[in-house]
């Protein structure tokens, strides 16, 4: 019994902390499935409070990989696959560029840039149709994947782009976003494994969080299917705006501290 419990409770964590993380994973998966965005950022905030700093980003990436993958499976019939044909090579190129360039840019500059693009995509004029087709998707995938290796806040930017691309259709937006983020998180797990992070020590907790995410996704999708595209668009833009304002505040704090 102790061996089984030890597999789910990493060294240095209490049982209550593990239960809180599992519950948070379920809630944030439901939130993202229902509203399209926001769960990943909230999960990252909770992980930052309960985990050692070195484990936060790798575990977040692994759990988000599982969460987005199961959401993509549940909504597979709504995924706009042609959008992903050009997203995949963009992810590969962005990951390669990140590993080669290893650019050290000020965090406040990255955060402010991402926030600006999110607000523009939410409240600015519609993106020209050519920008959301093959070449535009490739460029967006490359840039967001590159940025994701330097700042963990590109999910809202990808979501804003995909919402424009799918013209606000809620089911296609959530499904295609889930597939796109699955593709973006997969290289991160490989990168951290090569860098020496021992995922086996956290595998039990990660698996429990992913399974909780499956239940949360099912509950969230019930809300998604019952709402309208217009209500979804309002909620989606509101959450994205709040996330962009959070990034602006982080940029201000980082700049002030520099």
**Which residues, including other chains, have CB under 8 Å from residue 6's CB and lie 6 or more apart?**
none
How far is residue 245's CA from residue 254's CA, in Å, rounded to a whole number?
Answer: 14
According to DSSP, residue 200 is labeled: G
Query: How much is the pLDDT for 190?
Result: 75
How far is residue 32's CA from residue 40's CA, in Å, rounded to a whole number?
Answer: 8
* Nearest one of 86, 165, 82, 87 to 121, comparing CA atoms: 165
With 80 as the cut, is the pLDDT of residue 43 above it? yes
Helices and strands in the chain: count of H runs, count of E runs: 12, 0
**Which residues, including other chains, have CB under 8 Å from residue 238's CB and lie 6 or more apart?**
none
Interval 65-83: pLDDT, tens: 899 999 999 999 999 888 8
How far is residue 114's CA from residue 98's CA, in Å, rounded to a whole number?
Answer: 17
Asked if 75 and 179 count as a contact pair (C-beta separation under 8 A), the reply is no
With 60 as the cut, is the pLDDT of residue 1 above it? no
With 70 as the cut, is the pLDDT of residue 150 above it? no
How far is residue 54's CA from residue 197's CA, in Å, rounded to a whole number?
Answer: 8
How far is residue 174's CA from residue 186's CA, in Å, rounded to a whole number?
Answer: 18
Query: Which tokens go with 189?
Result: 């797990």
% pLDDT > 70, the chain: 89
Query: How much is the pLDDT for 56?
Result: 80
CA distances from 243 to 187, 199, 249 (A): 24, 29, 10
With 60 as the cut, is the pLDDT of residue 218 above it? yes
**Beta-strand runs (E) in the chain:** none
Of residues 234 and 124, more confidently modeled: 234
With 60 as the cut, is the pLDDT of residue 155 above it? yes
How far is residue 93's CA from residue 33's CA, in Å, rounded to a whole number?
Answer: 28
How high does pLDDT run on average in the chain? 82
* Nearest one of 4, 6, 21, 34 to 208, comparing CA atoms: 21
Q: What is the pTM of this model?
A: 0.79
Domain ranges (residues) in the chain: 2-257
Q: How far apart are the first and last CA of the chain?
A: 49
Task: Please name the residue that has the structure tokens 């993202």.
Answer: 32
Query: How much is the pLDDT for 215?
Result: 94
């Amino acid at each position: 019994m102790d061996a089984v419990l030890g597999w789910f409770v990493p060294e240095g964590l209490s049982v209550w902390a593990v239960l809180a993380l599992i519950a948070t994973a379920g809630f944030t998966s439901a939130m993202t499935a229902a509203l399209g965005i926001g769960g990943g950022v909230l999960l990252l905030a909770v992980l930052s409070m309960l985990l050692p700093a070195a484990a936060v980003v790798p575990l977040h990436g692994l759990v988000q990989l599982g969460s987005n993958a199961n959401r993509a499976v549940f909504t597979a019939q709504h995924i706009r696959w042609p959008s992903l044909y050009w997203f995949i090579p963009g992810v590969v190129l962005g990951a390669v560029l990140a590993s080669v360039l290893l650019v050290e840019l000020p965090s406040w500059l990255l955060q402010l840039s991402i926030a600006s693009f999110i607000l523009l995509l939410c409240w600015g004029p519609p993106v020209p149709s050519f920008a959301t087709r093959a070449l535009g998707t490739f460029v967006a995938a490359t840039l967001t994947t590159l940025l994701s290796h330097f700042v963990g806040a590109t999910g809202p930017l990808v979501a804003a782009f995909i919402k424009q691309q799918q013209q606000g259709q809620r089911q296609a937006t959530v499904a295609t976003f889930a597939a796109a983020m699955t593709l973006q998180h997969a290289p991160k797990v490989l990168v951290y494994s090569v860098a020496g992070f021992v995922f086996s020590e956290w595998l039990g907790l990660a698996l429990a969080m992913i399974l909780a995410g499956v239940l949360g996704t099912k509950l969230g999708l019930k809300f998604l299917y019952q709402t309208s595209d217009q209500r979804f668009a309002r909620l989606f833009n509101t959450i994205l705006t709040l996330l962009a304002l959070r990034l602006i505040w982080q940029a201000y704090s980082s700049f002030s501290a520099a």
